[in-house]
Amino acid sequence: MAEPLLRVSAVTKHFQGVEALGEVDLDVAEGTVHGVVGPNGAGKTTLLNVVSGYVPPDAGRVELAGRDVTRLTPQRRVPLGIVRTFQNIRLFGGLTVLENVLLGQHGRASTGTRSLWPLRSGADRRLRAEAEQALDVFELAPYRGRRAAELPYGLQKQLEMARALAARPKVLLLDEPAAGMTAEGRRALVPRIRELRDEGLTVVVVEHDMDVISNICDHVTVLNFGRRLTGGPPGPVLASNEVRTAYLGT
Ligand SMILES: Nc1ncnc2c1ncn2[C@@H]1O[C@H](COP(=O)(O)OP(=O)(O)OP(=O)(O)O)[C@@H](O)[C@H]1O
């Protein structure tokens, strides 16, 4: 493939003697959705943590468009385009839905928290319009004035994604976006993520729901005990005997 937008090379991470990741490689092409799957404890979240900068690897590299970002803090990765959501929702419950999305723009170059103040300039208005657009993508516009804490769980997850989108990512990292959602919420997620991909966004998604993975991913990487077991198009990979065996733990 062409030079990947995101390249993870030989990343290793131990926690108190436990190998959470062992020499893991991951190449993600621009404009694709890449799934990271595997049984519980396989190292999926640790991989997202290393890519987003929340966990420093013991060894290995993370590159975005050829630039080594391995040693950068999460805050310095956001303006470069690496933005994530969390498995456990991290919203400002006392702020409104719109305010949460405006804060998502905070990490972008020269934005600051200014976007919460009344509109002053054309740039402010543009930011506000983009925030409204992010709300629209996740059908949150009717809730823009509600406090985030008042939203049902599924909508809070959507708000997390809208906030991440407002940071204008190049690579959006989603940690279990379907977990805890209703069947309807999970179904709605699929066309949304595809649409974002079709607009050119690159997505890395950790997810246990294999229907969601099969429907949104161009490529999957399977981890098992911190090692890359296999990878490829979701259909054949998920149907393979080695992946089935890994999930069954036999
Ligand atoms: N901060 C930490 N301190 C100690 N051990 C950790 C830490 N984070 C992860 N681990 C361990 O590293 C291994 C990989 O964990 P990780 O959460 O990355 O797996 P996962 O594939 O995301 O699992 P799940 O599907 O259950 O979320 C596990 O053995 C876990 O207990």
All structural domains of the chain with their residue ranges: 1-81+169-249, 89-168
What is the pLDDT, as a whole number, of residue 27?
Answer: 97
Ligand 1 center to residue 46 CA distance, Å?
6
Q: Give alpha helix (H) positions in 138-182.
A: 153-166
d(CA 121, CA 25): 44
Q: Which atom of ligand 1 is nearest to the CA of 49?
A: 18
Beta partners for residue 227, in sequence order? 224
Q: Give the whole-angstrom CA distance, residue 37 versus residue 246.
A: 11
pLDDT at residue 50, rounded to an integer: 98
Question: Atom 18, ligand 1: which residue's CA is nearest?
Answer: 43
Nearest CA owner, ligand 1 atom 2: 15
Whose C-alpha lies nearest to ligand 1, atom 3? 15
| Ligand 1 centroid – CA 193 distance (Å) | 26
Q: Compute the distance between CA of residue 91 and CA of residue 242 in angstroms, rounded to an integer.
A: 38
Q: What is the pLDDT of residue 248?
A: 74
Residue 246 — φ and ψ, nearest 5°?
Answer: -60, -40
Stated length of the chain: 250
Q: Which of 204, 214, 164 is nearest to 31 (CA)?
A: 204
Q: Residue 128: what pLDDT?
A: 85
**What pLDDT was estimated at residue 125?**
79
Tokens of 249: 């733990």
- The pLDDT assigned to 246 comes to 87
User: ipTM for the complex?
Assistant: 0.97
Q: Ligand 1: which of 11, 24, 44 to mutate, judged by most atoms within 8 Å of the beta carbon?
A: 44
* The predicted structure's pLDDT at residue 161: 94
CA-closest residue to ligand 1 atom 1: 15
Tell me the best of 11, 13, 18 to mutate to test the pocket of ligand 1, counting ligand atoms within 8 Å of each CB and taking the most.
18
Query: How buried is 115 (Cβ within 10 angstroms: 0-12 exposed, 13-18 middle, 19+ buried)?
Result: buried
pLDDT at residue 118, as a whole number: 55
Query: For ligand 1, what atom is nearest to the CA of residue 87?
Result: 27
Pairing of the two strands 18-28 and 171-175: unpaired
Would you write out the chain's pLDDT as a tens digit for each of its 250 residues?
578 999 999 999 999 989 999 999 999 999 999 999 999 999 999 999 999 999 999 999 999 999 999 999 999 999 999 999 988 888 999 999 999 999 888 766 555 455 555 556 667 778 888 889 899 989 999 999 999 999 999 999 999 999 999 989 999 999 999 998 989 888 889 999 999 999 999 999 999 999 999 999 999 999 999 999 999 999 999 999 999 888 877 5
Token duo for residue 143:
């809730």
Pocket of ligand 1 (CB under 6 A): 15-16, 18, 20, 38, 40-46
The preferred substitution site among 26, 37, 45 for testing ligand 1, maximizing ligand atoms within 8 Å of CB, is 45
Residue 168 identity = R
Residue nearest atom 17 of ligand 1, based on CA coordinates = 45
Strand-pairing partners, residue 219, are: 34
Q: How many CB atoms lie within 10 A of CB 68?
A: 12
- Residue 108 CA to residue 110 CA, distance in Å, equals 6
Q: What is the pLDDT of residue 195?
A: 93
CATH H-level superfamily of 1-81+169-249: P-loop containing nucleotide triphosphate hydrolases (3.40.50.300)
